[in-house]
C-alpha cells in the first residue's frame, strides 16, 4: 500500500506547480482565451519543451511512458492554474486514438510531430442527439473502393479551430446506438467538404460544429479496424476520465483555498467572516468534497494498474459521479461565500466554476455515470 509519488512524479508536479505559480497569472489566462484558437500557441511550444506533451505516450512511440498517476500530477496543477490548453483534445483524445489504432508508419510520423508541438489534433466524437452516449452515431461513412465517404455533423469538437487533423467517429454499419459498426477515420482538417462553425464554451475554449459533406478519405486512414472502432474510442475516453477529474480536483482545490483566504480577510460586523461558525462549516464541507474526490481519484489510479477491469470501470463511474456532484457544490459555495464579488467577471472564481461546469458535461455527467454504476453493481 503506497500513495506516495515517485521521484519522477514529484519532479513533474514541482515543474507544473512552478509554471502555474510563476508563469501563468489569471490575467494571462484571460488574454490567452481571447486568441483565435482559444489558447496561446506559444504556451503549447513551452509545453513541448517541458516534455509535457509526451507524458501519456509509450516510450517506443517516443513518449515519456507515463501512467495514470503521472497524468494526475500534471493535470491537477493545470487545473489549479486554470490553464487554457488543448491538452485534453490534442494529446489525450486525438493522440491516444492514433497511438491505439493508427498504422505503424502514420503513428510514428504523427506522434513525433504531436509530441514536438508541431501538430494539433481533435477527436470529433459527439453529435447533436448523442448526449453522453459515445456510440449514438449518425455520421455515416460509406466505402467506395479504397476510400470512405463521410457525411454528417459532429458537435462541439474541442480544439477544432486549431486542429490540423481530426479523428472522426463514424457509422460504417449497424444502426443508431450499436457498438458494432463504429469506425474511426483520420481526416485532414483542410479536406474538401469540411465546414466549421465556431462556438465558444463558457470556459473560454473555442470549439466547433464540424460538417462533413461527402468528404473522401483513404481507407488506410482507418484508426483500428473497420466497424471495430468503438473499443478504441471507449478506451481513450476511459483513460481521459481520470485526467479531467484530476484537473477538476485542481480547480476545486483552488476554489476552496481561495475562499478560505478570502474569509480570513473580508470583514463584516467588525470581524473576519471566517470567524463565523456557519461559514466555517461550509468551508469544511468544501474541503471534505475535495478530499472525497481525491480519495476516489487515488482509488482509480490504483485500480488502473490492476487486472480487474470490472472494478476499474466501477471506480471510474464513481469518480465521475463524485467529481460532478462535489465540483458543483464547491463551485456554488465558492461563489456564495465570496458574496457579490463572487458573481463578477473580474474575479477568477466564476471562471474556475465555469471550467468545472464544462468538465462536468464532458464524457457523461454525474447522473449518467450513476446509472452506469448502478447497472454494474445492481443489475449484473
Partner 1 sequence: MDSSLSSDDLKFREEVRSFFRTAEPEAAQQLINNPRTYKQGAVQWQKQLFEKGWIAPFWPAQYGGAGWTVTQSYIYETERVKANAPDVVPFGLKMVGPVIYTYGNEEQKARFLPGILSSDDWWCQGYSEPGAGSDLASLTTRAVSDGEEYVVNGSKIWTTYAQYADWIFCLVRTDASGKPQQGISFLLIDMKTPGITVSPIPSINGVHSLNEVHFENVRVPKANRIGEEGQGWTYAKSLLAHERTVIARVADSKKRLNTLRQIASRELQGGKPIIEDASFQHRFTNIEVELMALEYMELRVLAAMARNESPGAESSLLKIKGTEIQQALHELTIELAGIYGGVVLDDGEPGSSVGHDFGDGARKDFMYGRASTIFGGSNEIQKNIIAKRVLGL
Residue 65 has φ and ψ, to the nearest 5°, of 75, 30
Cell 490548453 locates to 85
188, 291, 329, 368: residue in contact with partner 1 (rule CB under 8 A): 291
Min CB(317)–partner 1 separation in Å: 8
User: Shortest approach of partner 1 to residue 281 CB, angstroms?
Assistant: 5
C-alpha distances (whole Å) from 69 to each of 3, 97, 142, 212, 236 are 10, 20, 40, 37, 16
Grid cell for residue 66:
507515463
Residues 21, 82 contacting (CB under 8 angstroms): no
Q: Is 336 in the site for partner 1 (CB under 8 A)?
A: no
Pick from 13, 280, 332, 361: which binds partner 1 (CB under 8 A)?
280
Closer of 4 and 22 to partner 1 (Cβ):
4
| Binding segment (CB under 8 A) for partner 1, from list 44-52, 87-95, 158-166, 366-374 | 366-374
- Using CB under 8 A as the binding rule, whether residue 277 contacts partner 1 is answered as yes
DSSP secondary-structure letter at 173?
A: S
Taking the complex as a whole, how short is the minimal distance between the CB of residue 70 and partner 1, in angstroms?
10
Alpha carbon distance 227, 241 (integer Å): 24
- Start-to-end CA distance of the chain, whole Å, equals 29
Give dist(CA 267, CA 278) in Å, integer: 15
Task: For the segment 44-83, give every residue that binds partner 1 (CB under 8 A).
Answer: 69
**If binding is defined by CB under 8 A, does position 260 make contact with partner 1?**
yes
**Applying CB under 8 A, does 287 fall inside the site for partner 1?**
yes
Handedness of CA 231, 232, 233, 239 (dihedral sign): positive
Which residues here bind partner 1, judged by CB under 8 A? Answer: 1-5, 69, 260, 263-264, 274-275, 277, 280-281, 283-284, 287-288, 291-293, 295-296, 298-299, 301-302, 305-306, 314-315, 318, 321-322, 370, 373-374, 377-379
Amino acid at each position: 500500500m503506497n500513495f506516495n509519488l515517485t521521484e519522477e512524479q514529484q519532479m513533474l508536479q514541482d515543474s507544473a506547480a512552478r509554471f502555474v505559480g510563476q508563469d501563468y497569472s489569471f490575467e494571462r489566462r484571460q488574454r490567452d482565451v481571447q486568441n483565435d484558437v482559444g489558447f496561446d500557441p506559444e504556451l503549447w511550444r513551452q509545453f513541448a519543451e517541458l516534455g509535457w506533451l509526451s507524458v501519456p505516450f509509450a516510450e517506443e512511440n517516443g513518449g515519456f511512458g507515463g501512467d495514470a498517476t503521472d497524468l494526475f500530477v500534471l493535470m491537477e496543477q493545470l487545473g489549479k492554474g486554470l490553464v487554457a490548453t488543448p491538452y485534453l483534445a490534442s494529446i489525450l483524445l486525438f493522440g491516444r486514438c492514433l497511438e491505439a489504432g493508427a498504422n505503424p508508419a502514420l503513428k510514428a510520423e504523427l506522434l513525433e510531430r504531436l509530441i514536438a508541438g508541431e501538430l494539433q489534433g481533435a477527436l470529433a466524437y459527439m453529435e447533436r442527439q448523442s448526449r453522453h452516449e459515445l456510440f449514438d452515431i449518425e455520421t455515416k461513412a460509406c466505402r467506395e473502393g479504397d476510400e470512405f465517404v463521410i457525411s454528417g455533423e459532429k458537435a462541439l469538437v474541442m480544439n477544432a479551430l486549431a486542429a490540423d487533423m481530426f479523428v472522426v467517429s463514424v457509422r460504417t454499419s449497424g444502426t443508431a446506438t450499436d457498438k458494432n459498426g463504429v469506425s474511426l477515420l483520420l481526416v485532414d482538417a483542410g479536406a474538401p467538404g469540411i465546414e466549421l462553425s465556431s462556438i465558444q464554451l463558457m470556459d473560454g475554449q473555442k470549439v466547433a460544429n464540424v460538417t462533413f459533406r461527402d468528404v473522401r478519405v483513404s481507407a488506410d486512414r482507418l484508426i483500428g479496424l473497420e466497424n471495430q472502432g468503438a473499443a478504441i474510442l471507449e478506451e481513450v475516453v476511459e483513460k481521459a476520465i481520470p485526467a479531467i477529474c484530476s484537473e477538476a480536483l485542481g480547480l476545486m482545490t483552488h476554489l476552496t483555498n481561495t475562499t478560505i483566504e478570502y474569509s480570513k480577510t473580508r470583514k463584516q460586523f467588525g470581524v473576519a467572516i471566517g470567524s463565523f461558525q456557519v461559514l466555517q462549516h461550509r468551508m469544511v464541507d468544501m474541503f471534505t468534497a475535495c478530499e472525497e474526490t481525491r480519495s476516489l481519484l487515488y482509488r482509480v489510479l490504483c485500480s488502473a494498474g490492476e487486472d480487474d477491469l470490472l472494478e476499474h470501470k466501477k471506480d471510474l463511474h464513481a469518480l465521475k459521479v463524485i467529481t460532478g456532484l462535489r465540483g458543483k457544490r464547491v463551485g456554488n459555495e465558492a461563489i456564495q461565500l465570496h458574496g457579490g464579488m463572487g458573481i463578477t467577471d473580474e474575479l477568477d472564481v466564476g471562471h474556475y466554476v465555469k471550467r468545472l461546469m464544462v468538465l462536468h458535461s464532458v464524457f457523461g455527467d454525474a447522473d449518467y455515470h450513476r446509472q452506469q454504476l448502478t447497472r454494474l453493481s445492481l443489475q449484473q
